[in-house]
């Protein structure tokens, strides 16, 4: 073929389209409509929000359109009344509860496992009283268990029913959190977590995704969230390279994952779990704008 300028342009356009294919799977594959359109509900961890008191933190977050507040699970059983009072008459609600249990759920030591089960039950009771979407659980950080991958998985499935029964009685759920390999070898991908939820087959065993960990472990954020669809009830967000405020690393972008959340009709929260290089009173509203803009684009 003799390539003149016109055919050269159309050939390079085709080549460009072919290269872009993997990123435009959504356009090429007809995605089913979710039962309910997804909605964006921003949340922020207690330790991330600026303010010297619970009231100041909640005032700040409400002022910037946040709908969820994520406290840590440590000491939560003693804080139920304090939090209930602080939330009275406000639009903002408790989103997830971030871990805070003692012991290790998939420890090789019975004593450590029992400690995790007992302290998690206390936190689950408090989480339910606060109307939380769920309590986040990491089965084991690196170095916390001598069990290998397969034994950890078997152990997790063995202890989940007791915890999940308690969660459902308390009117909440467990949220398994996949981490990146520097923090945990067992449970690194959202789809793996979904497979564990599928095996557990219990309404109290659910899942979350964290954009920070997903940066390192997921070939596609969109595919990860779609794989987790049935069980996904919480999302964490941070900047993609240094776990600072979204927008503080160059090129921070969450559109691909948000496309997945839209496909599954996600109804729960996206919660800030991150540091910040700048003044949080400035960086949090900027992050909220970036997240809203990415959501609109997805």
Residue ranges in contact with Mg ion by CB under 5 A: 210, 236, 273
186: its two tokens = 């067992």
| Smallest separation, CB 14 to Mg ion (Å) | 42
Rounded Cα–Cα distance for residues 59 and 145 (Å): 41
Closer to Mg ion by CB, 129 or 178: give it.
178
Closer to Mg ion by CB, 248 or 273: give it.
273
Residue 209: phi and psi, rounded to 5, are -130, 145
Closer to Mg ion by CB, 129 or 272: give it.
272
Closer to Mg ion by CB, 66 or 129: give it.
66
| Smallest separation, CB 136 to Mg ion (Å) | 7
Taking the CA atoms of residue 136, residue 231, residue 292 and residue 88 in that order, the dihedral angle to the nearest 10 degrees is -50
| Smallest separation, CB 208 to Mg ion (Å) | 7
Residues in the chain, total:
298
Closer to Mg ion by CB, 147 or 176: give it.
176
| Smallest separation, CB 31 to Mg ion (Å) | 27
Sign of CA dihedral 234, 239, 244, 248: negative
| Smallest separation, CB 212 to Mg ion (Å) | 7
Closer to Mg ion by CB, 94 or 129: give it.
94
Residues 6+ apart with CB under 8 A from 26: 222, 259, 263
Closer to Mg ion by CB, 129 or 137: give it.
137
Contact 209, 232 (CB under 8 A): yes
Which has the closest alpha carbon to 260: 293, 231, 288, 220?
220
Contact 269, 175 (CB under 8 A): no
Q: How far is CA 193 from CA 232, 268, 295, in A?
A: 10, 18, 24
- E strand or H helix at 206: strand 205-210
| Smallest separation, CB 28 to Mg ion (Å) | 32
Contact 245, 286 (CB under 8 A): yes
| Smallest separation, CB 197 to Mg ion (Å) | 17
Residue 45: phi and psi, rounded to 5, are -70, 150
171: its two tokens = 């009117």
């Amino acid at each position: 073929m003799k390539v003149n300028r016109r055919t050269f342009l159309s050939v390079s356009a085709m080549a460009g389209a072919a290269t872009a294919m993997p990123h435009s799977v959504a356009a090429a594959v007809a995605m089913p409509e979710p039962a309910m359109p997804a909605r964006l509900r921003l949340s922020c961890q207690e330790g991330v929000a600026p303010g010297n008191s619970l009231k100041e933190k909640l005032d700040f977050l409400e002022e910037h359109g946040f709908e969820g507040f994520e406290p840590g699970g440590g000491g939560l059983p003693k804080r139920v009344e304090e939090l209930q009072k602080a939330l009275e008459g406000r639009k903002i609600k408790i989103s997830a509860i971030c871990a805070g249990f003692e012991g290790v759920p998939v420890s090789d030591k019975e004593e450590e496992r029992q400690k995790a089960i007992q302290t998690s039950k206390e936190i689950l009771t408090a989480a339910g009283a606060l109307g939380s979407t769920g309590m986040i659980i990491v089965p084991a950080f690196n170095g916390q268990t001598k069990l290998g991958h397969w034994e950890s998985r078997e152990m997790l499935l063995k202890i989940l029913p007791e915890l999940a029964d308690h969660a459902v009685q308390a009117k909440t759920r467990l949220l398994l959190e996949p981490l990146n390999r520097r923090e945990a070898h067992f449970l690194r991908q959202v789809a793996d977590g979904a497979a564990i939820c599928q095996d557990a087959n219990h309404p109290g065993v659910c899942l979350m995704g964290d954009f920070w960990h997903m940066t390192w472990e997921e070939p596609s954020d969109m595919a990860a969230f779609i794989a987790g669809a049935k069980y996904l009830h919480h999302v964490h967000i941070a900047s993609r390279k240094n776990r600072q405020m979204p927008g503080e690393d160059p090129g921070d972008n969450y559109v691909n994952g948000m496309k997945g959340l839209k496909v599954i009709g996600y109804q729960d929260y996206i919660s800030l779990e991150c540091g910040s290089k700048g003044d949080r009173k400035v960086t949090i509203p900027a992050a909220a704008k970036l997240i809203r803009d990415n959501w609109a684009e997805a």
